[in-house]
């Protein structure tokens, strides 16, 4: 067995050598930090470092869970991601189906290009756009309201607006990408059934309702389950850029990722940051295993592993 292993390495030594660079990268940047999760059980100090600081058992977790923050950010992360996933899936399929079925080649091509624009903007640029739309003094929305003689609204200090603005801009940024994804799935469907139904007299709405959508179901279920696997991984880029460190909006918009970031960088609090980070990693790991289990049950071929 052991001899076989050495023999295999020697036989394909050039090939295994070609894998070394990527292996080194992933060991250093991914596997070594995995070992570093021990820092969550330590009272971190810079001289001791990741592995030399004194152990404190579960103190950091006690602190994290008793701070009242743990439940808040877990709830926010979960709920936002559920809404994001649902809205993204719905609008992507809607656009994909319409583009697949409607006529007008030039219109469709142009529309697709335009829809894809937000995907290419950084969240920094999106934040600038959002600010220009919503700021109190001269934002587009408030300018319109003022012109109509209505009192301007202070969007940046009222969290309830953001329950809509955040999902809106999530879909805004991703629907171009998502519709291409679902459109390519529709294009891969067997067209002969559709033709047969057409000859049998089914109208286009019936064909969408009873053929395209059911045929799209496997792809949709897989993509949604994969999305559910990432449900505890927050959209840090979006939340950090659109909301930043706005204290007034904090309770309604703080997610695990922004909490961990703030605790690590802004108000050095290694206990909170490392406990929160490990809590999220474990949660993600468990959920992705569950989601993959479901995919496997549903369709073996599409399981991740």
Partner 1 sequence: MGIRSRDVTILNIIGHIIVGLFALIAVVPFFVVAINSFSTEHSIIYYGYSLIPKEFSLDAYELVFQNPQKILRSYGVTIFITVAGTIISLFVSMMAAYVMFRKDVRYRNSLAFFLFFTTLFNGGLVPFYLLIVQDLHLKNHLMVLMLCGMFSVFNILILRNFINGSIPDALIESSKIDGAGDFRIFIQIILPLSKPGLAAIGMFTALSYWNDWWTPLMFVEKENLYTLQYTLYRILSSANFSTQIVNSVPRLDMPKESLKLALTIVATGPIVLLYPFVQKYFVSGITVGAVKG
90-119 positions binding partner 1, by CB under 8 A:
91, 94-95, 98-99, 101-104, 107-108, 110-111, 113-119
Matching residue, tokens 């991703």: 174
Per-residue b or e along 66-95, where b marks 16 or more CB atoms closer than 10 Å to that residue's CB: ebebbebbbebbbebbebbbebbbebbbeb
Comparing CB distances to partner 1, the nearer of 34 and 196 is 34
Interaction of residue 74 with partner 1, rule CB under 8 A? no
Comparing CB distances to partner 1, the nearer of 86 and 264 is 264
- Residue 195 CB, nearest approach to partner 1 (Å): 11
Interaction of residue 125 with partner 1, rule CB under 8 A? yes
- Residues between 144 and 183 that touch partner 1 (CB under 8 A): 146, 172, 175-177, 180-181
- Residue 96 CB, nearest approach to partner 1 (Å): 10
Task: Yes or no: say if 169 and 156 are a contact pair by the CB < 8 Å rule.
Answer: no
**Structure tokens of 56?**
């404190």
Of the candidates 281, 260, 278, the one whose C-alpha atom is nearest the C-alpha of residue 269 is 260
Angstrom distances, CA of residue 182 to CA of 56, 176, 224, 290, 295: 49, 10, 12, 24, 18
- Residue 66 CB, nearest approach to partner 1 (Å): 19
Whole-angstrom Cα distance, residue 47 to residue 29? 22
Stretch that binds partner 1, among 61-69, 70-78, 133-141, 157-165 (CB under 8 A): 133-141
- Residues between 190 and 249 that touch partner 1 (CB under 8 A): 203-205, 219, 236-237, 241, 244
């Amino acid at each position: 067995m052991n001899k076989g292993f050495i023999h295999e390495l020697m036989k394909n030594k050039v090939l295994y050598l070609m894998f070394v660079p990527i292996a080194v990268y992933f060991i250093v940047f991914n596997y070594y930090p995995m070992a570093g999760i021990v820092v969550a059980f330590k009272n971190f100090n810079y001289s001791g470092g990741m592995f030399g600081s004194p152990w404190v058992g579960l103190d950091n977790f006690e602190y994290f869970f008793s701070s009242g923050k743990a439940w808040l950010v877990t709830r926010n992360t979960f709920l936002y991601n559920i809404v994001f996933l649902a809205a993204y899936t719905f609008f992507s399929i809607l656009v994909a189906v319409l583009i697949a079925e409607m006529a007008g080649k030039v219109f469709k091509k142009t529309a697709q290009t335009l829809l894809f624009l937000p995907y290419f903007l950084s969240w920094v640029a999106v934040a600038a756009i959002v600010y220009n739309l919503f700021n109190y003094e001269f934002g587009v929305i408030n300018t319109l309201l003022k012109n109509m003689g209505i009192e301007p609204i202070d969007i940046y200090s009222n969290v309830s607006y953001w329950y809509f603005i955040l999902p809106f801009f999530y879909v805004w940024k991703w629907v171009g990408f998502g519709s291409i994804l679902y459109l390519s799935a529709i294009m891969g469907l067997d067209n002969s059934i559709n033709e047969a139904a057409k000859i049998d007299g089914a109208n286009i709405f019936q064909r969408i309702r009873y053929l395209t959508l059911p045929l799209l179901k496997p792809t949709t279920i897989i993509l949604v389950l994969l999305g559910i696997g990432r449900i505890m991984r927050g959209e840090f880029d979006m939340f950090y850029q659109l909301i930043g460190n706005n204290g007034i909006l904090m309770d309604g918009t703080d997610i695990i990722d922004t909490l961990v970031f703030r605790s690590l960088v802004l108000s050095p609090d290694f206990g909170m940051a490392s406990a929160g980070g490990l809590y999220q990693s474990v949660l993600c790991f468990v959920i992705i295993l569950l989601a993959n289990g479901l995919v496997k049950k549903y369709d073996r071929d599409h399981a991740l592993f």
